[in-house]
Structure 1
Amino acid sequence: MRTIRIGAGAGFAGDRIEPAVELACHGHLDYLVFECLAERTIALAQQARLADSDKGYDVLLEQRMSAVLPACRKNGTRIITNMGAANPLAAAERVRDVARRLGLAGLKVAAVTGDDVLAAISGSALSLLEGGTLADLDNRIVSANAYIGAGPIVEALAAGADVVVTGRAADPALFLGPLIHSFGWAKDDWEKLGKGVLAGHLLECAGQITGGYFADPGVKDVAGLARLGFPIGEVSENGDLIVTKLEGTGGAVTTATVKEQLLYEIEDPVRYLQPDVVADFSQVRVRAVGPDRVAVDGGNGAARTGLLKVSVGYVDGCVGEGQISYAGTGAVERGRLALEIVRERLALTGVPMTEVRFDLIGVDALHGAALSQGGAPYEVRLRVAARTGAAADAVAIGNEVEALYTNGPAGGGGVSKSVRQVVAIASALVPESLVQTQLSIFEA
């Protein structure tokens, strides 16, 4: 039975590049996938594109492509990525430019566009999954991107693309696309499509399945995390999968790492809604078949819903933050006095806030003072953060923390302060007919 090898070159926008280079050079891959978009990532990318029409794609795009293109071209490995973010066309042009600079004449780069549906839904009373309607967000919306499926990726590969750059594609679709293209799976072969989504779901977060996010010292020990290897999926024509990694790299592929990733971000394992299929993971079987080799089968699927999820990014105020450290005897007591001073100052000055936190990092910042245990630490870091409607109000938060330098208590130092705009995310469902994708080809 025919098998193809797919490597995961990234699991998020800021992921390491070296493991992807190892895969490109030594993985004997048919495809290398870079999954780099989160819900907020594309909203922030839209803001970057609005500020500069030539931007809006992943900031590490050129660095990643420079690192892997020569080996991928030499070894016949095709690349699929959502690093196009809010601007797949500009991203594809940058990849073409990198290929020309590297002397890779003839390399074809495809850009998939059409996931941006802001114009199509603007002004509508579209219901939001979190409650309310799109109209409630008024003029604060900065982006609206639909999660497209594998179809445009299959089209790009059929057109001979060596690199396929998308915007907001569903994460598993980046892996399902090459499987459909390679094996000729029918668009209504729900079982195979469900298995393909299963493979994509397991591989999409890269180092998570090879022991990175899995590691917990003394409970789940994983060796060699500084040299963590990223996963390779060996996918058979019937959709069965073996997850592995390069020999000699750090981390581990075990039944436990695979099972944890299987359950990652899954609300209903019987109905995992995707653009191409409703995947069913409820009967999946996982077994070790060798060192760092785990076989996965039993995935299934049902007909897709005909609806696509849309991720809507909108401005939700600003966050002002200030931090200062206290050390030595009585550090916790001085830190708590400092918090009370800032709390009272913000009340006196009447700074309008919708949310505010007063934390001593390392003492009560995560779960509150009620769960703090043990003796007092020798040093603490105070943090005050508040959400405001305007940037000018957010500035006051850090300023009050900075004023602690000379306005008590004793021994504070290392102040930092910041103001940032909050981009929040809401979700909606739209008919798939609303989304019309386009394909553009660039040649080096």
Structure 2
Amino acid sequence: MSDTLLRIGCAAGFSGDRVDAAGPVVQALAASGGPAFLIFETLAERTLALAQLARRGDPAAGYEPLLVDLLRPVLADCLAHGVRIVSNFGAANPAGAARRIHALARELGLPAPRIAVVEGDDLSGPAHRPLLRAALGPALDGLDLVSANAYQGAEAIADALLAGAQIVVCGRVADPSLAVGPALAHFGWARDDWTRLARATMAGHLLECGTQVTGGYYADPGYKDVPGMASLGYPIAEIDADGHCTITKPPGTGGRIDQHTVKEQLLYEVHDPAAYLTPDVVADIGEAEVQELGRDRVRLAGVRGHPRPATLKVNVCHATGWLAEGEISYAGARAEARARLAAEVLRERLAGLGPLRADLIGVASVFADDAGRWLAGLPDGGAEDVRLRVALNQRDRAGAERLVREVTALYCCGPAGGGGVRTAVRQRLGTVSCTVPREQAPASFRFVGEAA
């Protein structure tokens, strides 16, 4: 078992994160001279469903839309310095993502990297319908299924790395598993070493949301001040052979890492601190210790682990109709009154289609309810800069298009002085979750592309 410190840097916390984040992280990892990994976490609960919809329109699509933008600045440096990459940016099409990375390497004049894809999470095909039926029962009836994906763990990632993969592309794996896989492969831990797995899991948990742990989502001016918000550093975890980690960030970058930022992220999305369920382990942070070692260096220790669950969580996304939105601005004297009148006109003309959500941006755009009661009870404050935003849910697109036409008609149908109309119609998705026996959704890996 290796006792060499392992460094894992994170350069994305969601699909749509900053594409210039990876550069400083890779520079810091390369400068360390030791074994290092770069992870990109780009999947949220519904991102996979959106990816499946994209793949319906184009069989070659379905992976992270910013894949090339994320990798182009750092792929050459990663390959040159032995910084291996692990990510879930494969989304609904890991093999397609691998092929696109090979194409990018050719464009950059780089040797073909060995790319492995992790499979087994996609349960949306007809062959898996009995499994979903057993898990969901009548709740599956009538669903227009878009995607069904099991949260896979770290073992297939580790196996791919041990087989020589330089890049591992996953679909739906648990976010912390992106870090647990490299730790498993590097340290050679037993697959049932629950305490070390739990510690690596919490290291991955601190990394997975990118700059949330370096002060980004923590910032609240005058209360929780964070320097350099425009140049936030993305986090790096230094993991030792026992799984304990120290969280830091690249030198010269903005943000802050202290016990407060780490504790906030440590508790983020954790339902039970004594039983944080993942596919790899049940982590227990009930006696965890957070210690500041110096500026922007915080150590996490004391995490314990328990045997992993016998089941895997599955997210099932389904089409639920269409969301129509429209906006129009009013300014100057009596602007708020004109915006309120426009909302009432739309309510009357769209009556019978369901609740119309109306927000007065600049007056009331967060606390309002879909029925309009909160806004109706709020007196006209005489605002002179108001943008009306309305929204409507419909089962069919034709109903949604009604709102688009009616908002556009306000240009001439009044009230006076409206302008800057913007409209949109997009498909809505719903989500139901269940669990399935892990042996019925096994994960595996395979190599894809020139270096297979």
TM-score range, shorter chain: over 0.9
* 1:212 corresponds to 2:216: yes
Q: 1:283 to 1:309 in 2, by over 3 A?
A: same
Helix, strand or coil at the partner of 1:335: helix
Decide whether the 8 Å contact of 2:160 with 2:445 is kept in 1: yes
* 1:3 corresponds to 2:8: no
Query: Normalising by structure 1, what TM-score?
Result: 0.94
Q: 1:102 to 1:151 in 2, by over 3 A?
A: same
Give, in whole Å, the separation in 1 of the partners of 2:247 and 2:142.
43
Q: Displacement of 1:58 after TM fit? A: 0.6
Q: 1:359 to 1:245 in 2, by over 3 A?
A: same
Identify the residue that residue 40 of structure 1 maps to in structure 2.
46
Identify the residue that residue 323 of structure 2 maps to in structure 1.
319
Decide whether the 8 Å contact of 1:118 with 1:145 is kept in 2: yes
Identify the residue that residue 395 of structure 2 maps to in structure 1.
389
Question: 100-109 or 299-308: which moved more?
Answer: 100-109
Listed one character per residue, the Cα deviations across residues 324-366 of structure 1 (whole Å, up to 9, x for unaligned) are 111111111111111111111112xx4x33x431111221221
1:256-267 equivalent positions in 2, closer than 5 A:
256-267=260-271
Identify the residue that residue 141 of structure 2 maps to in structure 1.
136
Decide whether the 8 Å contact of 2:206 with 2:262 is kept in 1: yes
* 1:104 corresponds to 2:106: no
Query: Normalising by structure 2, what TM-score?
Result: 0.93
Give, in whole Å, the separation in 1 of the partners of 2:392 and 2:69.
36
Decide whether the 8 Å contact of 1:326 with 1:380 is kept in 2: yes
Identical positions, percent: 48
Helix, strand or coil at the partner of 2:141: helix
**Runs of at least 5 residues in structure 1 that lack an aligned partner in the other structure:** none
Give, in whole Å, the separation in 1 of the partners of 2:239 and 2:28.
18
Identify the residue that residue 122 of structure 2 maps to in structure 1.
116
Question: 293-302 or 60-69: which moved more?
Answer: 60-69
Helix, strand or coil at the partner of 1:63: helix
1:39-438 equivalent positions in 2, closer than 5 A:
39-119=45-125, 120-122=127-129, 124-128=132-136, 133-138=138-143, 140-347=144-351, 350=352, 352-353=353-354, 355-368=355-368, 369=374, 375-438=381-444
Q: 1:203 to 1:101 in 2, by over 3 A?
A: same
Give, in whole Å, the separation in 1 of the partners of 2:288 and 2:336.
50
Helix, strand or coil at the partner of 2:243: coil
Helix, strand or coil at the partner of 1:90: helix
Give, in whole Å, the separation in 1 of the partners of 2:218 and 2:141.
40
Identify the residue that residue 371 of structure 2 maps to in structure 1.
none
Decide whether the 8 Å contact of 2:89 with 2:169 is kept in 1: yes
Question: 22-31 or 9-18: which moved more?
Answer: 22-31
Helix, strand or coil at the partner of 1:336: helix
Q: 1:374 to 1:282 in 2, by over 3 A?
A: farther
The CA RMSD measured in Å over matched residues stands at 1.8
Decide whether the 8 Å contact of 2:347 with 2:356 is kept in 1: no
Letter of the 2:423 partner, please give it: K
Letter of the 2:72 partner, please give it: S
